[in-house]
Structure 1
Amino acid sequence: MFSLQGKSAVITGGGSGIGRAIGQLFAKQGATVHVVELNAEAAAETVGLIEQTGGQSHAHHLDISQQTQVVEVFQHIGQVDILVNNAGIAHVGNAENTTEADFERVYQVNVKGAYNCLFAALPLMKRRGQGVILNMASIAAVVGITDRFAYSMSKGAIYAMTLSVARDYLAAGIRCNSISPARVHTPFVDGFIAKNYAGQEAEIFDKLSRSQPIGRMGKPEEVAALALYLCSDEAGFVTGCDYPLDGGFIKLNN
């Protein structure tokens, strides 16, 4: 079950964390993995890890906010059976103290970046008469979280785009779903805490871990396992759905 043999998968932000875990698992299941990354060194590391275990992978240095670049890279890849829109950045702030520059920066990567990849991938999928898109949303799309104004905006857009694409491309044989993780322990999270809560790292990490009713943060491998299911043929009847992977955050925080 869950074989991806013969599939070509593009994973944005595949150089670390959730994206790397997805890339490694997809390659293990037989997919050729295309790691799209702004950080060329991180992309190369992921490719190296995949190749060490006998998988096939290619790195693509790319700024997903630049549509011309995105289209060129996707055209070069040619066959795109699976697109995982995973790349994203975070921001701390409310509607008053979020600067226009910060708001624009989050929008450019999280929203426009995902749109650019959809714009580039969908014609390639239509040509093949099939395709699977998985967008990485967040619990912040559906739950109010303190001081996450711009980030919540961007993930709400991802959630809505998932539904729109799923509806528009039914006849083309293209499925589109999203995953909404709560806090997942990645290098991104460690860097985020260090940057925004210097000197309080241990305290904030514990607080964020306990905010999930299950009592801990998620693991990248747990997100990857759900991503594999949603992108496999076994999920052929699933489209237009969002999957909270949240340790009970949405329904059990009472």
Structure 2
Amino acid sequence: MNNNKIAVVTGASSGIGEASARALAAAGYTLYLGARRLDRLTTVAKTISGHAFALDVTDIASVQAFAAALPRQVHVLVNNAGGALGLAPVAEFDEDQWLAMYQSNVLGLARMTRALHGKLLASGDGHVINIGSIAGFETYAGGAGYTAAKHAVRAISETLRLEWLGKPLRVTEIDPGLVETDFSLVRFAGDAERAAKVYADTRPLLAEDIADAVVWATTRPAHVNVDQIVIRPTDQARADKVFRRSGAS
């Protein structure tokens, strides 16, 4: 058990963020949760005796206010907030969608890491968990905006290890493949039928599968840094190669 340790999870109102918060709470951490959907976030926080605060990682003032509400020491930061928008080819890309993806996946992650750096360092055993994606080292047609953003997450994770060498700070990147959450529903602007086709006739990962990895990485001894965890369902070989029982891939 990790009693008296503080964990912060962004984008914790649903999906991987919510599952990670629940798993960390079960492991003994005290949770501070951030997300834009405060009503949903508050419900999650109550069930794990955690704390909920409104957080928009694309807004500097929101990040600063959130950080100011946290205790002096933070042991774990799970940078989960982010997501994909659209599936247009580069020749037709939507600049607003690309900017939004960079704001949340890349700059939002950097803002949170900067804002909590001092608190993580003060803990004497700080750990940043960046939720990346297999899109951070693979590409697929129509996914240039999202894959570029997740490639940037990987670059940040690797750079942090260089910049923090010799300090009591660890950096782990967890890169999931196909996970059935609201990810595709958001990507396709609420088109439930289109989102359902992403997971049709296959067996994707669950948010809880990623949460297991979050807890495992954070509970290794302080001298052990798990650099990267890649997790795919057995029905997936690449980002764009998925086995479907209907025979289509």
User: Is the contact made by 1:229 and 1:235 (CA closer than 8 Å) also made in structure 2?
Assistant: no
CA–CA distance in 2 between the matches of 1:108 and 1:175? 24
Offset at residue 146 of structure 1 (A): 2.2
- Would the alpha carbon gap of residues 93 and 173 (structure 1) be closer, same or farther in structure 2, given more than 3 Å must change? same
CA–CA distance in 1 between the matches of 2:195 and 2:117? 42
- Would the alpha carbon gap of residues 109 and 203 (structure 1) be closer, same or farther in structure 2, given more than 3 Å must change? closer
Superposed, 1:54-93 pairs within 5 Å as 56-78=49-71, 79-91=73-85, 92-93=87-88
- Is it true that 1:243 corresponds to 2:229 in the alignment? yes
Question: Aligned pairs, how many?
Answer: 238
Offset at residue 174 of structure 1 (A): 0.2
Q: Deviations over 1:70-103 (max 9, x none)?
A: 1232132022110000011212222222122111
Which one is further off, 69-78 or 133-142?
A: 69-78
- Is it true that 1:168 corresponds to 2:163 in the alignment? yes
Give ranges in structure 2 of 5+ residues lacking alignment. 243-249
- Would the alpha carbon gap of residues 238 and 4 (structure 1) be closer, same or farther in structure 2, given more than 3 Å must change? same
Offset at residue 59 of structure 1 (A): 0.3
- Would the alpha carbon gap of residues 82 and 150 (structure 1) be closer, same or farther in structure 2, given more than 3 Å must change? same
Q: 1:232 aligns with which of 219, 229, 232?
A: 219
SS class of match (1:83): strand
CA–CA distance in 1 between the matches of 2:189 and 2:55? 26
Q: 1:133 aligns with which of 128, 131, 137?
A: 128
User: Is the contact made by 1:143 and 1:250 (CA closer than 8 Å) also made in structure 2?
Assistant: no
- Is it true that 1:118 corresponds to 2:105 in the alignment? no
CA–CA distance in 2 between the matches of 1:90 and 1:251? 17
Q: Percent identity?
A: 25
RMSD, aligned CA: 2.2
SS class of match (1:247): coil
Offset at residue 184 of structure 1 (A): 0.7
Offset at residue 67 of structure 1 (A): 2.1
Give ranges in structure 1 of 5+ residues lacking alignment. 51-55, 210-215
The TM-score normalised by the length of structure 1 is 0.85
- Is it true that 1:24 corresponds to 2:22 in the alignment? yes
